[in-house]
Structure 1
Amino acid sequence: MASVTQDGWWQRARGALMAGDTPENRFAPDRLDAYSRELQSALPLFFAFLIAFALNLFMDGDTGWHLGAGHWVVEHRAVPTVDPFSHTMPGKAWMAHEWLAEVLMVGAEWLRGWAAITVLYAASAAFTFWLLAREAFRHLPARYAVTAVALAAGILFPFTLARPHMLAWSLLALWTVILLRAREERRAPPLAAALLMAIWANLHASYIVAFGLAGLFALESLIENPRDTRLLGRWAAFGLLALGIAVFATPFGPEHFLYPFEVSNMKALAVISEWRRSVLTRDIGFTALLVVMVGVVALRWRTVPPLRFLLLAGLAAMALLHARHQMLFAIVGLLVLMPMVDPATSPRRPLPRTAWFLPLLLLVFAARLAIPYQFKEHSSYPLTLLAKVPAELRAQPVYNEYSQGGPLVMIGVRPYIDGRADMYGDDFTFRAKAITAGDISKFREDVTRFGIRWAVLENTNGLTKKLLKEPGWRLFARDRHASIFVRTR
């Protein structure tokens, strides 16, 4: 009886929601639709402006070691295969798999310092949001298109950090659009699109997702056209070409293809904030899009292709398991979801680009380059404090916490640890986290083991409080962000 009652409730609720869902009044136009072309251009322009001027991209210490790696590649005209930076792991095997992004960052830095790096990332975001807006206005009325792009921005903005993943956003969006257009037009993607792998595979490890997407849409095409061997052959050729480029167009060969899987199995991910589980009450943007997605699938379940339902469910599960996968959920999930909202209506032709979009975007970038960039120091980047350390002391082994290793690499100091947890490994990363939390006995052991002569620490962590009382150590300098200690014996 309970089941019958529940089914009846669902049918009544769905009937109420779908009451106006007829060809005549489905997505009735409103006044915003008259400005669709302008809105499609204004949204990415607005978000690019926010990233260039309002959002601080340099809140993550990893930016520092990415710049350090880029300088190493440019100086040596080679990609490092062993650790060239730390004093704790010299010569250990290291795969600098994001070397191309790091070289781009260094090129921007050479042009105009922090301001040009900001422009580099704002440009990537502008192209990403332009693609999202373009697809949104193809499939949705203006009010829903604006909402969809705003939801994507709400999820992506917490991840707007000057690191390679943000440069990969545009490639992820472009790749997904290419695959979706191929399926929409019942053809295979053009072989030329596989060349994106030459950039993506050297830019960021997220390129591995591209093969899962291509395989899923190829399977969907096969199910829909089981006897079209010519179409299947084109999909296979596209996938094999992309795979060959990804494997052999990098300095690392086939080993590089396995790297993302090896990192995802690390135990140390549990203590790295971006690998935390998503929290629905905390990650509001993610929660909002998840609710929308569930609602659309519930209302359109009869027309949702099974493989796309599995894709959306898989993206949601990945995002729930690790917060960093919310970026995949926002970009890929939204692009896959939007055609499902009104499957009975054919997508509209892309709106023509407004003439003022590109000139205004270039004006925003020119203004960002012209206005001196005011770098905001924080606990991961106590650059003024570090400048007080004498050169002879900088050359000595240092203890630093995980988030401060990147800035040390950037200024030429060999860190104890930095954001390359994949190289340091689980045991060492856990040990460093325990020491920073206040394990003074492990700290003493590593002082002896590595000959540590000084330490830079955030003011609020456990080790800072212990070193204020530790014999043989004295406070050298402090500001509101961090403290520097010097060994006296």
Structure 2
Amino acid sequence: MTLVTAGTMRETRALRGSLPLWVGVVSYAVLIFAGNRLLNDPDTQWQITVGQWILDHHAVPHTDVYSFTMRGAPWISTQWLAQVLYAQIYAWFGWAGPVVLAAAASSATFALLARYLVRNLNESAALVFVAVALALTAPHLLARPHVLALPIMVAWIGELIAAADRRGAPSFWLLPLMALWANVHGGFVFGLMMIAPIALDAVVQADANSRMALAARWGVFAALALAASCCTPYGWDSLLASRKILALGNALPLITEWHAADFTFLHPFEICLLGGIGLALYRGITLPPLRIVILLGLVHMALSQGRAAEIFALLSPLVLAQPLARQIGGAEAASSLSLRPVRGAMVAGVAVVLMAGTLTFAAMHRFAPNTANSPVEAVTELKKLNVERVFNDYDFGGYLIASGVPPFIDGRTELYGEKFLVDYNRASGLSEPDELFRLLEQYHIQATLLRTQSAAARLLDHVDGWHKVYNDDVATIHVRKAGGSHAAEPPVEPK
């Protein structure tokens, strides 16, 4: 071996060791510069409010204390720990805190993905998978609890797949990760469900003589993982809470993130899916039977639920990595032990630079939630009316909770249930106008806070008994007024 060749190999090993680091750095920088985009979700505000309630009361909620329609109804928060983290960092740093926390969790997710991929694939292939994952998950990278759970999900599934790749069982040291996941987000149920197909894949690929022993080890691990998932303030109820989401039935398609994939227009998911199919056909790529089943399951989830696209993007590369490495060429040996101290110094240096850059950018840039979901001026006027029962736009619910105004409805879909959500959608969208007036009477609504351009707000402009008292580009307020009459262009009463 020549000196030039030896030097090149050392440089390659160094690059391989630092690739996950640079993936994390670049993705973090991109997300920080995106800034306010991470605050586009209206649920972020009520998540922080719930987290602050937990901090103030040193307890987790068991009933609804926010809405007036469901007050006192049973409700638990399976994402209580994430809410506490968001609330605390918001209390310390304002809106810059949740942005940085969400960006850090997201970048850690992509860094972990790169770390698992370079165990089997070369850097180019790993970067392609990471870039695709970033493109598909970008719409879902918001300051919400599920983002804090993404690195946990990648680490959990990555270790399960790694165990299956070596025809072994996962380490019991992985179990605390499941306990953490169960306190951060309800998606931990998916992590439990993935144990079975991955275990079966490991057992099928193992030597015939060792299959029974391996199956037993996976069985013990699964039982302990189930027990670990119950290590929450709610115990078994955290595990059973997913039933309420699944019980929403016809209400699920009404929620944007639960929409099925739409191929009416060309989207990144369609491009990636067709590109993957084309590559498989061109290169003649084959997979073990159980890996095919797992991959098809992830594809089905992504097609049926928009929110599952991130799961497909992050986990399918882990499922494919080792089989692909055997067919398109894999990675070289891991970095030598002598590079570890240098790599540790590099990580520390990069961390310092990122912290300094974050503080500088936060000082120059004002982070704030999307004004389209935060009717600040309208709610200020609403509070002056001293009304207690307000029929609100779905996306305004989070801001109302954060403002101390009991909403009619908000993003806690499992609390309201299928019938309530379906009825509300028919009423607010005027697919059944009579439903709007029925709800207004049934719940003794005193005022409405709706989007200015919504059909319901425009209809109330011309309905006797309702008077428009405020409107701006975001929201319109109507109050119930006995004897009030409509007009072609209803006047706004002076303040």
SS of corresponding position for 1:256? helix
SS of corresponding position for 1:138? coil
Q: In structure 1, what is the Cα distance between the partners aligned to 2:425 and 2:12?
A: 52
Q: Of 47, 51, 73, which residue of structure 2 is paired with 1:70?
A: 51
SS of corresponding position for 1:145? helix
CA deviation profile, 1:349-393 (whole Å, cap 9, x unmatched)? 555644443333333433354445232543321223322333552
SS of corresponding position for 2:54? helix
Q: In structure 1, what is the Cα distance between the partners aligned to 2:55 and 2:183?
A: 15
Structure 1: give runs of 5+ residues left out of the alignment. Answer: 1-28
Q: What residue identity is the alignment partner of 2:147?
A: M
1:38 shift after superposition: 5.5
Q: Of 245, 253, 262, which residue of structure 2 is paired with 1:279?
A: 262
Q: In structure 2, what is the Cα distance between the partners aligned to 1:283 and 1:358?
A: 38
1:57 shift after superposition: 1.4
The corresponding residue for 2:22 is 42
Q: Which moved more, 1:445-454 or 1:153-162?
A: 445-454
Q: What residue identity is the alignment partner of 2:233?
A: P
Q: In structure 1, what is the Cα distance between the partners aligned to 2:457 and 2:113?
A: 46
- Give the 5 Å matches for 1:306-455: 306-344=289-327, 345=329, 347-350=331-334, 353=343, 354-355=346-347, 356-391=349-384, 393=386, 396-438=388-430, 439-455=432-448
Q: What residue identity is the alignment partner of 1:326?
A: A
1:158 shift after superposition: 0.5
Q: In structure 1, what is the Cα distance between the partners aligned to 2:463 and 2:278?
A: 58
Matching of residue 201 in structure 1 with residue 185 in structure 2: no
The corresponding residue for 2:33 is 53
Q: In structure 2, what is the Cα distance between the partners aligned to 1:420 and 1:283?
A: 31
SS of corresponding position for 1:476? strand
SS of corresponding position for 2:371? coil
The corresponding residue for 2:453 is 460
Q: Which moved more, 1:81-90 or 1:45-54?
A: 45-54
Structure 2: give runs of 5+ residues left out of the alignment. Answer: 1-8, 483-495
Q: What residue identity is the alignment partner of 1:401?
A: D
Q: What residue identity is the alignment partner of 2:126?
A: A
1:151 shift after superposition: 0.6
Q: Of 234, 256, 265, which residue of structure 2 is paired with 1:252?
A: 234
CA deviation profile, 1:320-367 (whole Å, cap 9, x unmatched)? 011111011011112212333231555445556444433333334333
Contact 1:102 1:164 in 2 (8 A): yes
Q: What residue identity is the alignment partner of 2:194?
A: L
The aligned length equals 458
CA deviation profile, 1:98-142 (whole Å, cap 9, x unmatched)? 111111110111111110011110110111010122233333333
Contact 1:476 1:486 in 2 (8 A): yes
1:449 shift after superposition: 2.6
1:485 shift after superposition: 2.1
Q: 1:452/1:400 Cα in 2 relative to 1: closer, same or farther (>3 Å)?
A: same
Q: 1:448/1:238 Cα in 2 relative to 1: closer, same or farther (>3 Å)?
A: same
Contact 1:125 1:170 in 2 (8 A): yes
Identity %: 30
TM-score, normalised to structure 2, is 0.85
SS of corresponding position for 2:38? coil
Matching of residue 116 in structure 1 with residue 97 in structure 2: yes
| Root-mean-square deviation over aligned CA pairs | 2.5
Contact 1:380 1:403 in 2 (8 A): yes
- Give the 5 Å matches for 1:219-298: 219-225=200-206, 226-228=208-210, 229-247=212-230, 249-266=231-248, 267-280=250-263, 282=265, 284-298=267-281
Contact 2:118 2:331 in 1 (8 A): no
1:280 shift after superposition: 3.3
1:303 shift after superposition: 4.6
TM-score, normalised to structure 1, is 0.86
SS of corresponding position for 1:359? helix
